[in-house]
Amino acid sequence: MMPISQSGVIATHEFELDGEYTEFNVSFDFDYYPEIVGFVGGAPENCYPSEPEDWEFANIKVQVADNLWLPLDDEKEVEEALENAMRNALEMLNEP
């Protein structure tokens, strides 16, 4: 199945720096692979297993000043913000 892809999604994430919390914008691209519901019935050659939804993030950058974005190599630091922003972008793509 072809992924749903989007580039330049912006999320806001709260980071802790020196004991204080501050928010930064995070920009990223994603490929989203929707869940595939399996099929069991009929001839064996027509059956296939279920596959869970999956996604990949790429080109993750943090905005540190106006028009200055730095690459972020550690996705784990912002994983929740990325997933939430991806799901919001997917909802907007599915709106009529």
Task: State pTM to two decimals.
Answer: 0.70
The predicted-structure confidence for 71-82, as pLDDT tens digits, reads as follows 877 777 778 788
Burial class, 30, CB count within 10 angstroms (exposed 0-12 / middle 13-18 / buried 19+): buried
pLDDT beyond 70 at 88? yes
Structural domain total, the chain: 1
pLDDT beyond 80 at 2? no
Tokens at residue 67, please? 């028009």
The predicted-structure confidence for 12-71, as pLDDT tens digits, reads as follows 777 665 677 777 888 889 999 988 888 888 888 889 999 999 998 888 888 878 888 888
Enumerate the β-bridge partners of residue 53: none
Give the domain extent around 9. Answer: 4-94
